[in-house]
Structure 1
Amino acid sequence: MFKFELVALDSKTSARAGLIYTDHGVIETPVFMPVGTQGTVKAVEQRELVEIGAQIILGNTYHLYLRPGTDVIFKAGGLHKFIGWERGILTDSGGFQIFSLAQFRKISKEGVKFQSHIDGSYHFFTPESIIDIQRILGSDIMMCLDECTPYPCDYDYAFKSNQLTIEWAKRSRERFDNTKPLYGHTQAIFGIVQGSIYPEIRAKSVEELVKLDLDGYAIGGLAVGEPIETMYQIAEFTASLLPVDKPRYLMGVGTPENILEAISRGIDMFDCVIPTRNGRNATLYTREGKFSIKNAIYKEDFTPVDKDCDCYTCRSFTRAYLRHLFNADEILALQLASIHNLAFYLWLVREARSHIIQGDFLEWKDKMLQKIGEKAKIANH
């Protein structure tokens, strides 16, 4: 069965260490989930994800529904079997695509009519159909349909949008309760707290969602352009209202600095495309900061990307070789950089967990931020 167990609380911050039990393994929190939108983490094979310690990945209902389609995934025996992944999967509801593909959609009380970005065909998502699709996908954690508000948006828009998200969550919960998993393993359902940057709307969202007794709660509608301090404030405020005995998931966040700051504010779960997207664009993250491997200084640098990292990239290759691959437009460059960046992110949350349990998280976090924060010096410069 799906269950969350709180293992440790930091005495100086709101940081937590926990365990999420799923039928595809136990997930140690804080956890970072590599983004596998279309059933694949870009440029990274599943066996490499296992080697670097990924416990759960994220897939997207919107994209998988459009391509390859639920009929194909059902015939394959669910998403786990289709993609050859035996560990955890969380599927987003498509709510962010409703936000990001605004020119293709129309929202109503019943659901969302949208036009495929692939072939222009029209489709209609409802809270119920999103649950049905995720039953077919067979993800371990499914998300309720929501509307992600843009930034900036006025109070009235945020209020009405949140009311819609709450009603959709109620309908999602009912559909979830009236359907069963298709592949013999437990599925959990998370709600998504919305409300833009308005604390009173966020509080109302939490109040109504908690009444539904969902398996976990996500904080949505952040990292969409608001000032970074505002994101931290709203995340901390919202997390403080959420049940202690349920996982807390901050959607779409973020940089290494963002993740450490959010962990200190009580967040358990994260996902973001930054490590793979930036990796494909030659930006590498290390324990000493980030840098662009294309810089000329690395032309004859025969040291590992990160001397303290034991991922395949760092064990096997040098900065000079990786720079050469990028400058020669070799596909291998994208793979090696993405592997390393994900390995770094997964190491970072494991270290955070270790220090929460040891009781020195705050001191460790402050030291790490001096090295890897956005204001830190670029590695080796």
Structure 2
Amino acid sequence: MNFLQVVVEAFRSMSANRLRTVLTMLGIIIGITSVVLLLAVGDSMKRFIAEQLEQLGTNMLFISPGGDRAQQQRLRAGASPALTIQDAAALNELESLSGAAPVLQSGFNLTVGNETASKTVFGVTPSMFKIRNWKIDQGSAFSEADVRAAARMVVIGHKIADQFFYKTDPLGKYIRIENVAFQVVGVLYGEGKQVDGGDLSDYVVVPISAASANLIRMPFPNNVHYVVAQGKSGGKLSDSINDINETLRDRHHIKFEEPDDFRVDNLASFAETAKKISTGLAALLGLIGAISLIVGGIGIMNIMLVSVTERTREIGIRMAIGAKPRDVLLQFLTEAVVICLVGGLVGILLASAAAAAITATGSFEVVITSGAIIIACGFSSLVGVFFGFYPARRASKLLPVDCLRYE
């Protein structure tokens, strides 16, 4: 019996018991759907994290006041850890950095007419737009001259513009921030999560001097909440961090044996951590799908064992007219593999539909890759061979005389 005849016989046997075949396939369909979809979700999640980190830039550095043990030690010594605008200016002169910008940040009520909303307001210098790659869609950003003049200007995100100035040009209009009027001079381009957890389209950005004079009260006028710096492209981030440490320790008059009164965080370490987490989670999702597929394989083995018992006389007749044990083995093994492959194809279609449905929501894009499909098809074939071999071997070991006498 050639292989084509075996496949034809397998399909004929499956069509003769349609309900049993469908029920047998059901476990494989669920398993393959789980494997493909979970692998796709894991892969899409890794890609999403990589894209977000690339957008933010892994050469970004965030300098904040207070170290691991410095804050309590310096407070006991009568000095509170702090960063200043002058610290940011000194860092901005470093050769290993492409720029540094101080930040004041706090939440305020924004009002336009009868519309009110609570938003986070950022007080920054113009260099922040370059460092954070903020682009202007309408109007322009404020300048260094505006910072020196503490001009009450504001650059807003798209969501803010749509909320307060729907279908009208926001440029030149005024937004009251805690009852202080700021004129809209620009609208930020784009949207998406930023490293601070906010959405770029929901940002409210003002000159840092205007924020200090009108909105955010600090213990000292030149204090800032944190400083954002950017390492030069192609340079070593470790060199940039060392330069920052040396500069700030010197400016803060920190002795050699004393700990830092500031902390430097970099997105490169965040990116590595995020990569490890996403890789581990993707592997876990794939494992969960594989377990579902194994459960389906056990179902195939059980059904095939029942099928061998039901078809004992058929096996005896085949052997009596010349079929060899390997032909019987091949037939039952082929049936198991065909059930797995057909179930696998149905599972891939269901997984693709589920991925399209998730993507259609707009919250997360799930893409079924060719790699996931190849893995699923290969795994389903292995499951068919592994769990189908024992019933097939058991069928091939039956004696024709015993089979023909079976009632």
Tell me if both proteins adopt one fold, taking TM over 0.5 as the criterion: no
Q: Whose helix fraction is larger, Structure 1's or Structure 2's?
A: 2
Q: Which has the larger radius of gyration?
A: 2
Report the TM-score when normalising by structure 2: 0.26
